[in-house]
Amino acid sequence: MSYQVLARKWRPRNFKEMVGQEHVLRALINALDSDRLHHAYLFTGTRGVGKTTIARILAKCLNCETGVTSEPCGECSSCVEIAEGNFVDLIEVDAASRTKVEDTRELLDNVQYAPTRGRFKVYLIDEVHMLTGHSFNALLKTLEEPPPHVKFLFATTDPQKLPVTILSRCLQFNLKRMPVDMISGHLAFLLGKEKIPFEEPSLRLIARAADGSMRDALSLLDQSIAFSGANLKEADVRDMLGTISHEPLLSLLQAVKDEDGAAILQQVEDLASITPDFEAATDALIALLHQLAVQQVVPDAQQDDDNITAFAKTINKEEVQLFYQIALHGRRDLPLSPDPRSGFEMLLLRMMSFAPLSEGLQHGETEGQSKKKRLNETESRQEVDKAHKAKKKVAQKAISQDKAPPVSKAAEETPPPWDDVPDYLQTNRVATTLKTRVESKPVKAAPAKKNSVATPGIPKNKVSSASPGKLPTQWHEIVPLLKLGGRATELIKHCLLESNEDGIVSLTLDKGSEGLLAETVQGEIEAALSRLYDKKIQLKLAVEAINPNVDEKVSAAETPAQRQQRLIAEKQQQAVNNIATDPFVIELQNRFGAQIVPGSVSPKSN
């Protein structure tokens, strides 16, 4: 007896043997059991998900000799002939080969005649979207009001090409792509029936390659059995499919993370000896990055490889997301490169070049190194402050003795630190200019005068950012001093300062910005406040609707964001008023009938 392929040998014979598509089977079973049958059914979905199989089982259910049932016997002559494909009242048509209107008319000429043996005459038209417009028009009237003994079953992979007039006359069922776990589980069941040993990872490789199609999975299973000699091993299936294991891809990502260009090129060379298909390598890299992202978000998610779980703990979420996006764009641009290998290399080098920098971290720096660096910077800053305070004491002592302190050449050439610029200047553009001048030009000390308290090289109006008593009292002036970034900056701009007493800062967040709220963000703000006031600050945050227009004292009841919007609106209105009252504009309007186009006036940028 000749060999029968698995896809035909294990084709489901009834609804119970179907894998997946429960949403379709439930509707059909209920319709059959309650005798609420429609005259036309349309089954849509990608290849190999069971469209034709469900249509044939439905034909069995309609013509089984035991009666219309959702569980055909499978033993009567009608069931056997339908399964073998020679039942006279099941007319299967391949619309791809019979697209002419003459073929459709010839088909419909026999609709009026009663079935020869069965209960219903069933027309199963596969790939119905291939019919021409004239064929659909010829089918319309019969499809809307067919004889009671006729049922139409349509199957298509492209329902968008069907006219709306056809769709409106059918019950439409969209069959879903099958997940990897469902396909691999069914393949394991079939191999158990066939008594063929296998390795579980090999079935998952086949299921992924099938891309949601059970028929493709069974065809690949046949090919794998022939390739591996009736003993499915992961290595054999991987070689047959040309897929890449996780180990070389993880090594590539590690080299990218370490910014080791030489290692990247060497590993691409090694990869070329394994698989010359770099498009498949890019697809595998994208799939691996997806698994890493899932593992980071859901640590309990099941992974095929423990190395993925371990590597996910060593790489930042931001890096994974960026690498995934670069890989997607690189996959799209791969056909444009001179050759696939160079395109794959550029993809990896682009990942290395654009690796994200964490806030407060230099490239390649760990959190512990960053904390140690910030601690050293703080200590250095404190030492500079102490030195300047000592100089100030010496200057004051010299002034009290009517003597100017000696100024060394080094002191004349050393500019004062940026901290000596008053805080109220650090929040505007003047601060930037002043900072540039201070850092680029040496400041020479002016000769000390009698009864003057000025210290050489230090401005008179110094305000220490570490001194709470000299900090600004207005909330919109305090916010820039916190030097926050990202999400914390947006949240703090939508807050009002209610009170600041006994180390407790109470803020009210505008309810419209409640989506920005998070524990990590609150921790950032609390740490920034503690640094600013040089003591432990406890943050209390309440959420309320803030509408500055209700209060007459607008400036006291508006968030920094609302204040900024108000200032922009006032500036815009002032610009409009200035244009409207400009003598030249008025002259143009009076003499030439000119008009000011609404929305064309904008304030002059600084």
- Three-state DSSP string of 540-567: EEEEECCCCCCCCCHHHCCCHHHHHHHH
* Contact between 126 and 120 (Cβ < 8 Å): no
Write out the CATH class of domain 468-546.
alpha beta
- Could you state, in chain order, the average pLDDT of each consecutive group of 10 residues for the chain (606 residues)? 82 90 93 92 92 93 91 90 90 83 83 88 91 87 89 92 91 92 92 90 88 91 88 85 79 88 88 78 88 86 72 87 91 89 90 67 50 58 64 58 47 44 42 42 44 36 42 81 83 86 86 81 86 86 75 60 88 89 88 85 76
Q: What is the DSSP letter of 154?
A: E
Token couple for 566: 């108000």
> What pLDDT score does 396 carry?
60
Task: Please tell me the distance from the alpha carbon of residue 563 to that of residue 554, in angstroms, as a whole number.
Answer: 9
Sign for the CA dihedral angle at 538, 542, 548, 551 comes to negative
CATH 1.10.8.60 is the classification of domain 180-241: yes
> What pLDDT score does 358 carry?
47
Strand blocks (E) in 224-304: none
Task: Report strand pairing: 171-174 vs 40-44.
Answer: parallel
Helices marked H in 401-486: 409-413, 429-440, 475-478
Alpha-carbon radius of gyration of the chain: 39
> What pLDDT score does 279 carry?
86
189 phi/psi in degrees, rounded to 5 = -65, -45
Token couple for 129: 């979207």
Strand blocks (E) in 40-165: 40-44, 90-94, 121-126, 150-156
Helix, strand, coil share (%) of the chain residues, nearest 5: 55, 10, 35
Residue 222: which residues within 8 A CB-CB, separation 6 or more?
5, 6, 7
The CATH code belonging to domain 246-353 is 1.20.272.10
Task: Please tell me the distance from the alpha carbon of residue 498 to that of residue 391, in angstroms, as a whole number.
Answer: 40
Give Cα separations from 423 to 302, 384, 429, 453, 456 (angstroms). 53, 18, 12, 20, 20
Q: Which residue has the tokens 């069931």?
A: 79
The CATH code belonging to domain 6-174 is 3.40.50.300
| Nearest Cα to Cα of residue 348 among 271, 407, 290, 268 | 268
Q: Domain locations in the chain?
A: 6-174, 180-241, 246-353, 374-440, 468-546
> What pLDDT score does 466 carry?
39
> What pLDDT score does 461 carry?
34
Token couple for 361: 């971290």
